[in-house]
A and B are shown apart, each in its own frame.
Chain A
Amino acid sequence: MKLFHSRNSSMPTTVAVSTTAAALIFSVQVQAQSIPEEEITYNSHVAAIINENCVVCHRAGGIAPMTFTSYETVRPWAPIIGYRVGRREMPPYAYDQDIGVQHLIGDWRLEQQDIDTVLAWVEQGAPLGNTDIIPPAVEIPSLDEWNFTESLGSPDLVLGSQPIDIPAAGNDMWHRPYTMTGLNDDRCIRAMQVKPKGASKAVVHHANSTLEIPNGDGSYERFSQLTEYAMGKWGEMMPEGVCRKLPANGRIAWDIHMYPGGLGAMAPGEMIEDNVVELGIWFYDKGYENEARFDQDLRLYKLGEQDNLIIPPHGYEMTQGFHSFDHPVRVDSFQPHGHLRMNAASLEIYYPETGQIESVSQVSKWSATWHHNHIYEPNVAPLVPTGAVLVIKQWYDNTAENPNNPDPDVFVMGGSRTADEMTHAWLAMTHLDEEGYQELLAERLEQQSETVTSTLK
């Protein structure tokens, strides 16, 4: 049921209109919890939500297929906006509510109140509202801007891959250049973002960067994984008190996978010239490396051997990985990785001494379109005691029920191509010692105590 305004009246009346459209569209479970009863309009209520949460992608040249920068472009999409927002499919940040850690940095999920507002607006016929009310202006960075500029300023160091010209449409390509960092001193990284430059966004599937350091004989050896980028990834932030080290005199070994034309975005012309992927790095101040007590690293954690992964036609698969440490750790971020058939992932901690399992993160509607790196807020990032086991699970659906599945009739094997599958996760881990672990535990307990006390007051 919705209200439809009476003829020639600016006030809503009681002319009740039952719309099959609403019934059809909202036959799915929409998780509206408290639909506001007042009239909800675009100008007064919804524009602010869309501008703040959607326009960053839904703008001219953005990664989204269409723009949502005005009522004229938003109104026709209202039924679909309601459907997607109500199911928490948009904004695209798949992460289960009410399971595990919920306080995340860079979390795109809408507040329930905003979801309810959008749903009420759609239910009421998606009205524009008073034209004298001007919705708040959209203040978004340019498409080439760095994501952390607002909070951290421009990157301290920008490292670009070797420019190459590639066709705007074609087959998979891989590019593996090196870039010298030019750093003369060891530094601790505060944040990182990998960003295809300009039109390169239309072709770059993923870009991995590995840090290599000279080994004394003129050659280089691997130091650590630096970062990983896949379409939709925002960036990485390192919490205070830890050091993700970028050592002096190193170089970046790139592994860039391009699929010209395959991303669906338009690249102008026949060739994309000077295709470059950039790595922006923000450092902690000099001297911080002496203050930081613990090292943090980013590593790939396997869920079994990828070469053994076989998903039968019209079948399912589930993989598990178990990892434990001989020292306590803090899990700072979790980024599951797979391709077209992967549709869910989770991270748990198993405590052998008690036999208990604790859920950390669950992503029941995982999609390879959005490779989110779930960064836990430092005061809730899971603390893992020595000997406890990280349990990573990933699920695969090779049936026709999987909307991302291009061909349910084929066997899918582990491999690098888009059509293959992968089974690993990227975790950023702070490596603690027993003393540090106990200190962090004590801090948590104190926080909880303060929270309880303030609640009782």
Chain B
Amino acid sequence: MNSQSSERKTSVHPSALLLLVFLLLTTVIGAFAQTAFAQTMGRVFSAQESELAELFDAAFIAQAKIFAEISAIGSSPATQAARDQFEQNLHMHENMSMAEMMAMMQMHASMTMPGPFDELESHFGTQMIILLKTRQSRSAVLDAYENSPLPRQVVEVLHRGRQFESRLYEILADPSVSDIPAALREDVANYLSADGSVPAKPIPADLLLEHPHAGAFARGYPKLSGFLWATQWVQLATIEALLLQAQEVQYWGSVDTVRARFQGKMQGSLLPVELPMTPAIAPTLFTLSPDAAVIIDNLNIFETVIADVLSYPNLENKDVATDALVAQFTNPDTSFASTMDYLLFALRGGIYNQGGPAIGELSQSERNRSRSEMGMQHAMIMSTQ
């Protein structure tokens, strides 16, 4: 036994040599990427979770393509009639009373309503499924936003967010990081140190739900919004899985579970109908580093709000609207929601509706009332006599 142990210590397996060479190479490339093209996934995460790293790269491209596609649909003469109808529907929604909205929600509770561009969405959705199953080249990742219709400022916020998230996955995947909270604090501080960062304080829910073009993405593109949110879900669920795997043996293999669940979503099961948020899908990250959790949520909200603007039919000067959003989302002095309001907002979206838990089972919605109905708490009072 002793001699065997001794051999193990002194001999080096060929595969270990290969790994060493790989790590050296990726370190060099990684260092370059950190400075210039940090939006690609990091070396440790890529080495440890190669399939997920590839998926995240593909998701980054998919997100860029979704923005491009809804812009293209929104400016195509062929969709003018559908856009006009969609605009009318949105105006009708905006003018609805809460009771009317509830009645409508009840009528449609069990139905999946097709969007106004259903055929185009379905066609594009098929392309997205293929894209997300395909390994993407490094150049494809780096050029994802090369011809994007999004203004440069928006792309910068997205790129910085991608850098932050990429480093976060590195920390969680790296077994040599013993003090995860400290590493996350450093990551947060590093991210916040430059312009174009969203704050580490909760953006008020109104910025998502009440802005002038709110809901246009989900109503106009129910499939594509589901895709975008699914890519956000898998990123959050991976964080939860990595954190739990690091804690207890019983969670080993959780990352594989997450990946399998995402593949299931791509095959049509449980696409999110609400924007996934950290307290619901990655609660362990919120417990460990609320700042990191809030940054990720602010970034994901930012993506949806940008998509709302791009989706809003017949809207002139979309660049002006998106520039204003960039200013709002990157303003460190804006007013923020309290932690309690943020948590309630995040959780009222529903765990199931946001894509379901990362680990464990949830076969139906856990919500008895929807998020919008929760706004009716003042009416939940009775009189007597």
Write the residues of chain A forming the contact surface with B, with a CB cutoff of 8 angstroms. 2, 4-10, 15, 17-22, 24-25, 60-67, 69-73, 75-80, 83, 125-127, 130-131, 167-170, 205-206, 208, 228, 230-231, 255, 257, 259-270, 300, 337, 339-340, 368-369, 371, 404-406, 416-418, 420, 422
Specify which chain A residues have a CB less than 8 angstroms from the CB of B360 in the assembled complex: 70-72
Q: Are A5 and B368 in contact (CB under 8 A)?
A: no
The 11 sampled A-B contact pairs (Cβ below 8 Å) are A5-B246, A5-B247, A6-B247, A7-B175, A7-B246, A7-B247, A60-B364, A72-B361, A73-B351, A76-B279, A205-B381
Give CA–CA (A76, B370) in the complex, Å: 17
Is B290 at the interface (CB under 8 A from chain A)?
Answer: yes
Q: Are B361 and A261 in contact (CB under 8 A)?
A: no
**Which chain B residue shows the least CB distance to A269?**
B106
Kindly supply a per-residue 1/0 record for chain B positions 181-194, scoring 1 wherever the CB is within 8 Å of any chain A CB and 0 otherwise: 10000000000000
* Besides the known contacts A21-B288, A71-B360, 6 further A-B residue pairs in the complex with CB atoms under 8 A apart: A8-B252, A72-B362, A78-B283, A167-B103, A340-B378, A404-B378
Q: Are B290 and A264 in contact (CB under 8 A)?
A: no
**Main SS at interface, chain A:** loop
Is B324 at the interface (CB under 8 A from chain A)?
Answer: no
Specify which chain B residues have a CB less than 8 angstroms from the CB of A270 in the assembled complex: 103, 106-107
Give CA–CA (A10, B179) in the complex, Å: 17
Q: Are A266 and B369 in contact (CB under 8 A)?
A: yes
Q: Are A72 and B339 in contact (CB under 8 A)?
A: no
Is B76 at the interface (CB under 8 A from chain A)?
Answer: no
Q: Are B290 and A21 in contact (CB under 8 A)?
A: yes
**Which chain B residue shows the least CB distance to A2?**
B287
Is B348 at the interface (CB under 8 A from chain A)?
Answer: yes
Tally chain B residues at the interface, Cβ within 8 Å.
61
CB-contact partner of A15 in B99, B178, B290, B384, under 8 A: B178
Smallest CB separation, A61 vs chain B (Å): 6
Specify which chain A residues have a CB less than 8 angstroms from the CB of B344 in the assembled complex: 80
Specify which chain A residues have a CB less than 8 angstroms from the CB of B369 in the assembled complex: 65-66, 264-266
Specify which chain B residues have a CB less than 8 angstroms from the CB of A127 in the assembled complex: 247-248
Q: Are B181 and A422 in contact (CB under 8 A)?
A: no
Smallest CB separation, B291 vs chain A (Å): 7
Specify which chain A residues have a CB less than 8 angstroms from the CB of B385 in the assembled complex: 208, 255, 300, 416, 422
**Which chain A residue shows the least CB distance to B357?**
A72
Is B37 at the interface (CB under 8 A from chain A)?
Answer: no
**Which chain A residue shows the least CB distance to B97?**
A169
Kindly supply a per-residue 1/0 record for chain B positions 149-191, scoring 1 wherever the CB is within 8 Å of any chain A CB and 0 otherwise: 0000000000000000000000000010011110000000000
Q: Are A264 and B383 in contact (CB under 8 A)?
A: no
Question: Which 5 A/B pairs are nearest by Cβ-Cβ distance?
Answer: A205-B382, A5-B247, A262-B379, A72-B360, A406-B378
Smallest CB separation, B209 vs chain A (Å): 17
Chain B contacts with A in 18-47, Cβ cutoff 8 A: none
Specify which chain A residues have a CB less than 8 angstroms from the CB of B98 in the assembled complex: 261
Number of A-B contacts (CB under 8 A): 210
Decide yes or no: A417 and B343 within 8 Å by CB, A5-B248, A15-B178 being known contacts. Answer: no
Give CA–CA (A405, B370) in the complex, Å: 22
Smallest CB separation, B183 vs chain A (Å): 12
Decide yes or no: A80 and B283 within 8 Å by CB, A169-B102, A422-B384 being known contacts. Answer: no
Q: Are A418 and B381 in contact (CB under 8 A)?
A: yes
Is B286 at the interface (CB under 8 A from chain A)?
Answer: yes
**Which chain B residue shows the least CB distance to A83?**
B340
Specify which chain A residues have a CB less than 8 angstroms from the CB of B249 in the assembled complex: 8-10
Chain B contacts with A in 340-371, Cβ cutoff 8 A: 340, 343-344, 347-348, 350-351, 357, 360-362, 364, 366-370
Specify which chain A residues have a CB less than 8 angstroms from the CB of B364 in the assembled complex: 60
Is B72 at the interface (CB under 8 A from chain A)?
Answer: no
Q: Are A76 and B362 in contact (CB under 8 A)?
A: no
**Which chain B residue shows the least CB distance to A263?**
B380
Q: Are B381 and A60 in contact (CB under 8 A)?
A: no
Give CA–CA (A166, B378) in the complex, Å: 21
Give CA–CA (A7, B173) in the complex, Å: 11
**Which chain B residue shows the least CB distance to A7?**
B246
Q: Are A422 and B99 in contact (CB under 8 A)?
A: no
**Which chain A residue shows the least CB distance to B100?**
A169
Decide yes or no: A125 and B284 within 8 Å by CB, A21-B290, A21-B339 being known contacts. Answer: yes
Is B61 at the interface (CB under 8 A from chain A)?
Answer: no
Write the residues of chain B forming the contact surface with A, with a CB cutoff of 8 angstroms. 98-100, 102-103, 106-107, 109, 175, 178-181, 245-250, 252, 279-281, 283-284, 286-291, 339-340, 343-344, 347-348, 350-351, 357, 360-362, 364, 366-370, 373-374, 376-385
Q: Are B368 and A66 in contact (CB under 8 A)?
A: yes
Give CA–CA (A260, B97) in the complex, Å: 14
Give CA–CA (A449, B173) in the complex, Å: 67
CB-contact partner of B382 in A65, A78, A168, A257, under 8 A: A257
Smallest CB separation, A387 vs chain B (Å): 30
Specify which chain B residues have a CB less than 8 angstroms from the CB of A265 in the assembled complex: 368-369, 373
Q: Are B180 and A4 in contact (CB under 8 A)?
A: yes
Q: Are A10 and B250 in contact (CB under 8 A)?
A: yes
Specify which chain B residues have a CB less than 8 angstroms from the CB of A255 in the assembled complex: 385
Specify which chain B residues have a CB less than 8 angstroms from the CB of A21 in the assembled complex: 286-288, 290, 339
Q: Are B181 and A418 in contact (CB under 8 A)?
A: no
**Which chain A residue shows the least CB distance to B245?**
A8
Q: Are A65 and B348 in contact (CB under 8 A)?
A: yes
Determine which residue in B102, B250, B366 has the highest number of CB atoms from chain A within 10 A of its CB, and name it: B366
**Which chain B residue shows the least CB distance to A404?**
B378
**Which chain B residue shows the least CB distance to A406?**
B378
**Which chain A residue shows the least CB distance to B291?**
A20
Decide yes or no: A206 and B383 within 8 Å by CB, A15-B179, A264-B373 being known contacts. Answer: yes
Q: Are A266 and B384 in contact (CB under 8 A)?
A: no
**Which chain A residue shows the least CB distance to B290?**
A21
Q: Are B287 and A79 in contact (CB under 8 A)?
A: yes
Smallest CB separation, B182 vs chain A (Å): 9
Specify which chain A residues have a CB less than 8 angstroms from the CB of B250 in the assembled complex: 10, 130-131
Give CA–CA (A2, B247) in the complex, Å: 14
Give CA–CA (A200, B249) in the complex, Å: 48
CB-contact partner of B380 in A72, A260, A262, under 8 A: A262
Specify which chain B residues have a CB less than 8 angstroms from the CB of A78 in the assembled complex: 283, 287
**Which chain A residue shows the least CB distance to B377?**
A264
Q: Are B378 and A422 in contact (CB under 8 A)?
A: no
Determine which residue in A130, A169, A263 has the highest number of CB atoms from chain B within 10 A of its CB, and name it: A169
Give CA–CA (A78, B385) in the complex, Å: 39
Specify which chain B residues have a CB less than 8 angstroms from the CB of A63 in the assembled complex: 368
Specify which chain B residues have a CB less than 8 angstroms from the CB of A22 in the assembled complex: 287
Smallest CB separation, A286 vs chain B (Å): 33
**Which chain B residue shows the least CB distance to A255?**
B385
Q: Are A73 and B339 in contact (CB under 8 A)?
A: no
Give CA–CA (A260, B102) in the complex, Å: 10
Q: Are A4 and B181 in contact (CB under 8 A)?
A: yes
Give CA–CA (A41, B377) in the complex, Å: 32
CB-contact partner of A404 in B245, B339, B366, B381, under 8 A: B381
Q: Are A230 and B347 in contact (CB under 8 A)?
A: no
Give CA–CA (A62, B106) in the complex, Å: 17
Determine which residue in B283, B288, B378, B384 has the highest number of CB atoms from chain A within 10 A of its CB, and name it: B384
Q: Are A126 and B382 in contact (CB under 8 A)?
A: no
**Which chain A residue shows the least CB distance to B352?**
A73
Q: Are A76 and B283 in contact (CB under 8 A)?
A: yes
Specify which chain A residues have a CB less than 8 angstroms from the CB of B374 in the assembled complex: 65, 264
Smallest CB separation, B290 vs chain A (Å): 4
Specify which chain A residues have a CB less than 8 angstroms from the CB of B181 in the assembled complex: 4, 17-19
Q: Are B103 and A168 in contact (CB under 8 A)?
A: yes
Determine which residue in B246, B360, B373, B381 has the highest number of CB atoms from chain A within 10 A of its CB, and name it: B381
Q: Are A76 and B340 in contact (CB under 8 A)?
A: no
